[in-house]
Amino acid sequence: MGFLSGLDTSVNIAFPALSAAFELDVSDIQWVVISFVLSYSILLLPIGRFADQIGHGRVVLAGIMIEIFALAACGMATVFWFFLLARIAQGVGIAFMLSSAPALVTLSVSEQKQPQALALFAMMIAMGVAAGAPIGGVLLQTWDWQSVYLYRVPYTGLLLLLSLCCALYRRPVIKKPEVLDIKGALALGSGLGLVLFVASRGFTWGWFAFPTLSMACVGVGLLAVFVAVERKSENPLIDFNLFAIPDFVTANCLNALANAAMFTVWFLGPYFLITVRGHGTTAGGLILAVSPLATAFAAKYSARLVGKINLNLLSRWGLLIEGIGLVAMSRATALTPLPVVVIFLALVGAGLGLFQVPNMSFVMASIDRTKQGLAGGITQMTRTVGLVAGLAVWNTLYIILRDRKAADLGISELEDPRIFVPAYSAVLGLAGLLCLLGTLATRQKRDIIKNLPGVPSCK
């Protein structure tokens, strides 16, 4: 399941082809990401809580079936609005899977082996991310953009068969069902969705325009309703006592930051490699795969260090390495030697991998093992919120810098390298700087990991 979710990077390498097929500007490609990420980010938490009640395996099976139909619909789309609807459905399927997958991982092993199991899960996601871009590049050499969706249909079908076979031998133990907090789930999903949507469209509409302000107020109001409902609920989606722990809040914020910064590579990297440097789609996909491969290996190595090195220190080094890689990548040009570009991308990926395992271990261990679906939903939700919010910020900044540079040079072709490269460099440089600043937050954290179940004491 983790490998399948990572394969969506096949779409990133197809961004130029999608732009041409649907006649989209570079800035408009954000809808391909937003329609998918936004739909599953608002569902992760309530579905994770729901899975705790009816069984994580059942929820995963439902997600796989939704994903099969959604991928097929994406590949058959001929108009952009239908394509976006299919992407939303794909996001729903991923939400069913990702909200329950971390819970299945942690509950299948002892508490002492939880960090290693989570590292394997993170590694499989990274391996999928690494494989997605090269596979997409090879497919685009022979077929059109539809292939980056259709090739995953038989793989997802095989995953469904394997899951059903496992279900035959594992009879699920269903606890006495609790009443799901429907009001809280609706308030959270609609409020978070509106806030993230406004963040993605604020620059286009105008930050002080009536639609922007009105939708933002409604979104914030719904989130306030969610908090009020949860405090009175007998079975809340979130235990707000967790947010009284500064380290828990910091860990989730840094999780969002690290993933938002990383997404600059996947957002603008394909254009940089294919349009500016002149690599083909296959070569561009292979080059992009360097970063998630480094994430996979770093995650595996990081798991061995959990319990031997302070988790705050591991997180700090991860953010530091990711930030250095992004700043270095921001200085790359069409003339930068390919091995140097590969090293920069590897640093970005390795930093994220080194950061993810201790961060996820902390959050999962902060929540009771009977609510690991909720814990997994929180980790994945903060990750996706970071992706959507980051995309909104990076896209807005990119448009501002691009248009300003185009006006200064008097160039109307907005994809001209003389315009693209300065804007690209500024966006990646800022993302790297934010990671470096994030290391300061890890210094503020207290070492309370030893007081949490399932995480070895730090030495």
What pLDDT digit, counting tens, does each position of 384-403 carry? 777 777 777 887 788 888 88
Q: Which of 286-295, 299-308, 392-401 has the lowest mean pLDDT?
A: 299-308
The continuous run of DSSP H or E covering 61 comes out as helix 56-76
Q: Higher model confidence: residue 36 or residue 122?
A: 36
Give the residue-averaged pLDDT of 139-167. Answer: 81
* CA dist 117 → 2, 110, 383 (Å): 12, 9, 19
Q: State how far the Cα of 164 lies from the Cα of 66, in Å rounded to an integer.
A: 15
Radius of gyration from C-alpha coordinates of the chain: 21
Query: Is residue 93 a contact partner of residue 44, using CB atoms and an 8 Å limit?
Result: no
Q: Which residues of 75-101 are buried (b: 16+ CB within 10 A; e: fewer)?
A: bebeebeebbbbbbbbbbbbbbbbbbb
Query: Is residue 379 a contact partner of residue 99, using CB atoms and an 8 Å limit?
Result: no
pLDDT band at 325 (very low <50, low <70, confident <90, very high): very high
pLDDT at 370 over 60: no
CA dihedral 397, 10, 81, 392 (to 10 degrees): -20
Give the residue-averaged pLDDT of 326-353. Answer: 91
User: Residue 451: its pLDDT value, please?
Assistant: 41
Length reported for the chain: 459
Most confident of 47-61, 233-247, 316-330: 316-330
Query: Is residue 375 a contact partner of residue 51, using CB atoms and an 8 Å limit?
Result: no
Query: Is residue 14 a contact partner of residue 138, using CB atoms and an 8 Å limit?
Result: no
Identify the sign of the CA torsion 352, 343, 431, 385. Answer: negative
- 82-97 pLDDT, tens per residue? 888 899 899 888 888 8
pLDDT at 346 over 90: yes
**Helix residue spans in 178-245 (DSSP H):** 182-205, 210-232
pLDDT band at 27 (very low <50, low <70, confident <90, very high): low
Give the residue-averaged pLDDT of 322-349. Answer: 91
pLDDT at 292 over 90: no
Q: Higher model confidence: residue 205 or residue 32?
A: 32
pLDDT at 454 over 70: no
Question: For 12-78, where are the E strands, in sequence order?
Answer: none
The angle, 0 to 180 degrees and rounded to 10, between the axes of the packed helices 372-409 and 246-271 is 40
Q: State how far the Cα of 277 lies from the Cα of 44, in Å rounded to an integer.
A: 38
pLDDT at 124 over 70: yes
Q: What are phi and psi of 454, to 5 degrees?
A: 85, -5
User: Residue 188: its pLDDT value, please?
Assistant: 75
User: Residue 458: its pLDDT value, please?
Assistant: 37
pLDDT at 23 over 80: no
User: Residue 298: its pLDDT value, please?
Assistant: 85
User: Residue 444: its pLDDT value, please?
Assistant: 44
Q: Which residues of 32-57 are buried (b: 16+ CB within 10 A; e: fewer)?
A: bbbbbbbbbbbbbbbbbbbbbbbbbb
Q: State how far the Cα of 32 lies from the Cα of 77, in Å rounded to an integer.
A: 13
Summary mean pLDDT of the chain: 77
Residue of 218, 231, 211, 210 whose CA lies nearest to 191: 218
Q: State how far the Cα of 337 lies from the Cα of 224, in Å rounded to an integer.
A: 51
The angle, 0 to 180 degrees and rounded to 10, between the axes of the packed helices 246-271 and 417-444 is 160
DSSP at 272: I
pLDDT at 450 over 50: no
Q: State how far the Cα of 89 lies from the Cα of 204, in Å rounded to an integer.
A: 25
**209 CB-near residues (< 8 Å, 6+ apart):** none
* CA dist 146 → 14, 74, 91, 122, 408 (Å): 9, 7, 17, 28, 38
Query: Is residue 416 a contact partner of residue 402, using CB atoms and an 8 Å limit?
Result: no
Give the residue-averaged pLDDT of 112-131. Answer: 70
One-character DSSP codes across 146-158: THHHHTHHHHHHH
pLDDT at 296 over 60: yes
Q: State how far the Cα of 397 lies from the Cα of 395, in Å rounded to an integer.
A: 5
Q: Cα 94 from chain centroid?
A: 11
The token pair at 403 is 């248009």
